[in-house]
Amino acid sequence: MQPAPPGNRAEVRTKGRTISRQVLADHVYEELLASLMDGRLEPGAVVSIDGTARELDVSPTPVREALARLEHTGMVRRVALKGYRVAPVFTREDFAELMEARLAIEPVNARLACARVTSEHLAELDRAVADLKTAPRGPSFAEYRDYLEADERFHRLIAEQTGNQFMVAAYAALGGQVQRFRLFGGVGITDAEYAIAEHQSVLDAFATGDPEMAAAAMADHVKKVRGRAIADAPAG
Amino acid sequence: MQPAPPGNRAEVRTKGRTISRQVLADHVYEELLASLMDGRLEPGAVVSIDGTARELDVSPTPVREALARLEHTGMVRRVALKGYRVAPVFTREDFAELMEARLAIEPVNARLACARVTSEHLAELDRAVADLKTAPRGPSFAEYRDYLEADERFHRLIAEQTGNQFMVAAYAALGGQVQRFRLFGGVGITDAEYAIAEHQSVLDAFATGDPEMAAAAMADHVKKVRGRAIADAPAG
DNA sequence: CATGATCAAATCCTATAGGACCGGCCAAAG
DNA sequence: CTTTGGCCGGTCCTATAGGATTTGATCATG
């Protein structure tokens, strides 16, 4: 996984071999992110700095740094002198807004990416769709985690294949993977068959190399996701 | 100013009066942001944690927290165990990518905002355009700072008036105000007359209440900004 | 019963100290 | 003269300590 590049490892070159080191704050960041995504930290819950430090057996300093980074992703909110809390649950309005934003960004990404697609890109997209098809879709978190990961990976690959750092940033600002987990956590996947077919359509459009067709397929997919999820949204 | 909501103040309610408090990390954040925008910190320069702490007469802890937040904005980059550096200068390709992204997002913002515009919104936009017209445009930083601030405020207002938190986040991910400063720092404003007229056109479209016209005016503006800036771009 | 004061524990926030690592400088050896 | 090795200052990173603040409970009072 690797949702939002949390930190950066230091490539230490020593005696020809290069080892990769990582500071504690990065580890704390990843730990907190995992807790947020698999539901161990529920929306609205307080995330105590000292408590997290004790739990992870580190000092509060790296925890502060990790939380400061997390805040900018929207996963946690901070109030000065009061601490951090997990962001509240998604409402139906939040979901509608997210889809509106995705509809503005993702078809553009598809058009740009398709215009400069390579066989390597196609192979990566194909792998994501294949993973989508083979991933289990049971009710427990562990069972749909891989599905959501493949779903997000497909869309993120397209954003990255635009070669435009700002389109990647804009896509990442929508929360990418994380929002998926928060939306569907506890509900499970109900529309996998449809979603897989739509992803396949996008992939087919990429294979033809027609940017407009790719954009149309992506727009179609996002609209249908919106329609299905509003029909049986978890939160009103 | 208030570019990217850095931290959050604690609203302390005491005896009917509510005072707003703020922790040191927020102050450091704002101080660093100001240094970045007015050129005191040049692209590529190292931002030492301990050094900044001494300079601002605080301990390194709040500086670490402020820098962790700044990193997520793309203004500074971090390498584990080596510290922070100001992000490198904008190349012509970077600028083209930024405009491509703005072209994908800002016309949509204009359409959404126009569809639900109020007289208060119009007044705010009108004030931004008025400030744009009256702001000095001399060669030194202090003289075009207000101009850039009004420019960015105009666009940010439209993003906020969409009422869509994710469109705001996507717009903010593009760097908003900050990129303007980094692009034009040291160059000055050369296209103010044209830009002001284009902003006025967008405002006029908002006044008519036609979302499609607003989107078209905004798209026209962004395209023309791209054209002019590529013609006399500071960095090749 | 409702309301406000008081106090203790938890928590946030900041400063300080020290370990680990890097880079420059200089002296000594080859 | 070149190179090697050690020293030293700077920096990052983490832990710890203590002050400031919030929170929640307990208790007194109208």
Reference B90, options B30, B34, B44, B143; nearest CA is: B44
Q: Does A111 touch chain B (CB under 8 A)?
A: no
Predicted pLDDT at A139: 73
| pLDDT tens profile B77-111 | 999 999 999 998 888 888 889 999 999 999 999 99
* CA-based nearest distance B18→chain A, Å: 15
- Residue A119 in this model has a pLDDT that exceeds 70: yes
The fold of the B10-86 domain, in CATH, is: Arc Repressor Mutant, subunit A (1.10.10)
Mean pLDDT, chain A, as a whole number? 86
Task: Please report, rounded to whole angstroms, the spatial distance between the CA atom of protein residue B77 and the C1' atom of nucleotide C30.
Answer: 44
Predicted pLDDT at A184: 55
Predicted pLDDT at B228: 84
pLDDT grade for A10, boundaries at 50, 70 and 90: low
Name the residue in chain B with its Cα closest to that of A171.
Answer: B170
Q: Where are the domains of chain B?
A: 10-86, 92-231
Mean pLDDT of A203-223: 97
- CA B232 from chain centre, in angstroms, equals 21
CA distance A132 to A177: 14
* B173 vs A64, higher pLDDT: A64
Q: What share of chain A in percent tops pLDDT 70?
A: 83
Position of tokens 């005696």? A15
pLDDT grade for B7, boundaries at 50, 70 and 90: very low
Q: What share of chain B in percent tops pLDDT 90?
A: 61
Task: Answer positive or negative: Cα dihedral of A89, A95, A96, A98.
Answer: positive
Mean pLDDT of A196-225: 97
Predicted pLDDT at A7: 42
- CA A34 from chain centre, in angstroms, equals 12
Query: Helices B24-37 and B49-56, interaxial angle, to 10°?
Result: 100
| pLDDT tens profile A165-181 | 999 999 998 876 566 66
Mean pLDDT of B130-147: 84
Mean pLDDT of A216-222: 97
- Residue A6 in this model has a pLDDT that exceeds 50: no
User: A109-125 burial string, b = 16+ CB within 10 Å, else e?
Assistant: bbbbbbbebeeebeebb
- Residue B210 in this model has a pLDDT that exceeds 80: yes
Is residue A10 classed as helix, strand or coil in its secondary structure? strand
What ipTM, to 2 d.p.? 0.88
A25 contacts on B by Cβ (under 8 Å): 68
| pLDDT tens profile A19-54 | 455 789 999 999 999 998 878 898 899 999 999 999
Cβ contact B157 with chain C strand, < 7 A: no
| Run of H or E residues at B17 | strand B17-21
CATH code for the structural domain at B92-231? 1.20.120.530
Q: Which of B88-92, B129-133, B225-229 has the highest mean predicted lDDT (pLDDT)?
A: B129-133
Specify the nucleotide whose C1' lies closest to residue B59 (CA). Answer: C15
| pLDDT tens profile A55-80 | 999 999 999 999 999 998 889 999 99
- Residue A182 in this model has a pLDDT that exceeds 50: yes
Task: Please report, rounded to whole angstroms, the spatial distance between the CA atom of protein residue A83 and the C1' atom of nucleotide D26.
Answer: 26
- Residue A96 in this model has a pLDDT that exceeds 80: yes
pLDDT grade for B187, boundaries at 50, 70 and 90: low
Cβ contact B83 with chain D strand, < 7 A: yes
- CA B184 from chain centre, in angstroms, equals 12
Predicted pLDDT at B18: 45
Mean pLDDT of B213-235: 84
CA distance from start to end of chain B: 30
Mean pLDDT of B129-145: 85
- Residue B129 in this model has a pLDDT that exceeds 80: yes
Predicted pLDDT at B4: 40
Cβ contact B48 with chain D strand, < 7 A: yes
Mean pLDDT, chain B, as a whole number? 85
Other beta carbons within 10 Å of A131? 16
- Residue A15 in this model has a pLDDT that exceeds 50: no
Cβ contact B81 with chain C strand, < 7 A: yes
Which bases of chain D are contacted by protein, using any atom under 7 A from a CB? 10-17, 21-23
Predicted pLDDT at A120: 96
